[in-house]
Amino acid sequence: MTILEIIKIKELNPVTLTADEIKEKIFFDFGDQEIKAQTGSVTIEVSKLEGELEGLDEIIFLFDSTNRGNITWFKKQESGNYSVNLKLESIYLDGFELSIQHFIVPGKILISITEEEKESLLKFNNQKLFLSTLLKYYLPKRHDSILYLATKAYRCNPNESNDETKSHFLGNPKYNTISLFHISTLFSDQIEEIESIKHLSFYIDINNSNNGWPEKEGDFKVTTKIESSLNRADTYYEAANNFSIQTYLDIPSYNHSSLFQLKLTFEEIDIYSELRSFYFEHIVDKSSIGEEVNKIFGYPDSIQNCVSYEAERIKNKREYSDEIYEDAQHWMLLLQISPYCKKFNFFEKFGDGSIYFMIRKKDFLEENFENCQVIVQNT
């Protein structure tokens, strides 16, 4: 990965589009309005902070994701800095010169990642260094505290297999839970964190969500027990659905309790949110990118308030207060199931709510799954 810092703009080369080019490239009818649509290239002086310029192609403006440029040439100067010519891909309706002044400014950090590096970032062992580098240049004062929060997670991408001897969603209930629906059973051959317990099963009440989400004791169960023979004649269940797993280094969303405790400024929150999106864009297999995902461990992808906060509040019947944020840090995600990752049939009865099975870290280490808490959130 190559990191550059903009020193100054040296030369602008705007190209004004003809009326026919505007019609061809911009799918919008401006009527009789006069449009000064331009594209072009810009030569900038940059300082090379990390990496090399040889073999680079695309330059990324981290906080201006719609603006990307291709390096057409570069030349080292006597000062040690570089002159770099970028051909910008976007079309600027307010004119080239006016538009680029918003994102090509002195001090701005630019990133370039080769195709080989992009492939390597899909591997768990390379992601911590990538995250560390981003934090170093965009949130240097928060580098250590945010890197400390990074933790392993497993992204679960449903496939078409239905082998119940492997980790799966749905399928036959493994334990006599009477009225609860079997959501998932995980096996330790794919998930090393549960090696000592061999397997872990999740159940939830899907029949009474019209009267409130299943967040009370008895509405859900997490258990290590599997019974070899059950009378399932009156039990509703769906065919098992296996999933492939991508191991990755997860970081919390901007509203997680752990970040609240860091007391980030509004500007830092904005930077962190952009950085987090950019980070995930490059560490997750492009074929599985989605707004909402199924996952094991890591951090809950909250839709509303912090899920860990809600787990602490509901489990201990506490009133809303900032004091909860401190205790919420002790909760961790076991399993997250989203209706928008894959629309399992049970969601038609249950409703469009993402389901989060939460547990305190201490209880997880002690294998005390009776102390779990379910949170459900929807838009």
DSSP 108-142: -EEEE--HHHHHHTTSHHHHHHHHHHHHHHHSGGG
pLDDT per residue as tens digits for the range 284-296: 866 554 556 899 9
Res. 228 pLDDT band, cuts 50 70 90: low
pLDDT of residue 87: 93
pLDDT per residue as tens digits for the range 197-213: 988 999 999 888 777 88
DSSP 153-213: EEEEEE-S---TTSSEESSS-SS--TTPEEEEEEETTT-GGGTTT-EEEEEE--S-GGGS-
Residue 148 scores a pLDDT above 70: yes
Strands (E), 22-81: 38-50, 58-61, 68-76
Q: Smallest Cα–Cα separation from 294: which of 158, 175, 172, 164? A: 158
Higher-confidence position of 71 and 178 = 71
Residue 225 scores a pLDDT above 70: yes
Question: Highest-confidence range of 53-57, 232-236, 274-278, by mean pLDDT?
Answer: 274-278
**What percent of the chain lies above the pLDDT cut of 90?**
57
- State both tokens at 335: 């399993």
If DSSP codes are grouped into helix, strand and coil, which group holds residue 233? coil
Mean pLDDT across the stretch 228-236?
54
Contact 275, 62 (CB under 8 A): yes
pLDDT of residue 107: 92
Residue 233 scores a pLDDT above 80: no
pLDDT per residue as tens digits for the range 161-177: 989 999 999 988 877 76
pLDDT per residue as tens digits for the range 293-352: 899 999 999 998 999 999 999 999 999 999 999 999 999 999 999 887 766 888 888 888
pLDDT per residue as tens digits for the range 82-104: 999 999 888 888 888 888 888 89
- What's the distance, CA 225 to chain centroid? 32
Question: Highest-confidence range of 53-62, 98-107, 170-179, by mean pLDDT?
Answer: 98-107
Residue 194 scores a pLDDT above 70: yes
Question: Of 28-32, 101-105, 175-179, which range is least confident?
Answer: 28-32
DSSP letter, residue 31: T
Let me know how many helices (H) and strands (E) the chain has, helices first: 11, 16
pLDDT of residue 327: 95
Res. 26 pLDDT band, cuts 50 70 90: low
Q: Mean pLDDT in the chain? A: 88
The ranges assigned to domains in the chain are 2-112, 122-379
Superfamily of domain 122-379: YwqG-like (2.30.320.10)
Question: Of 54-63, 108-117, 370-379, which range is least confident?
Answer: 54-63
Contact 173, 182 (CB under 8 A): yes
pLDDT per residue as tens digits for the range 238-271: 888 999 999 999 999 999 999 999 999 999 999 9
Residue 364 scores a pLDDT above 90: yes
pLDDT per residue as tens digits for the range 368-378: 999 999 999 98
**What percent of the chain lies above the pLDDT cut of 70?**
90
**Which residues does residue 310 pair with via DSSP β-bridges, in sequence order?**
none
Residue spans of alpha helices (H) in the chain = 19-25, 96-100, 115-120, 124-138, 143-149, 257-260, 266-283, 307-315, 324-328, 346-350, 361-365
Measured between alpha carbons, how far is 57 from 70 in angstroms, rounded to an integer?
5
Q: How many CB atoms lie within 10 A of CB 147?
A: 16
Q: Is the dihedral of CA 325, 256, 64, 121 positive or negative?
A: positive
Residues in the chain: 379
Task: Say what angle helices 124-138 and 266-283 make with each other, to 10 degrees.
Answer: 150
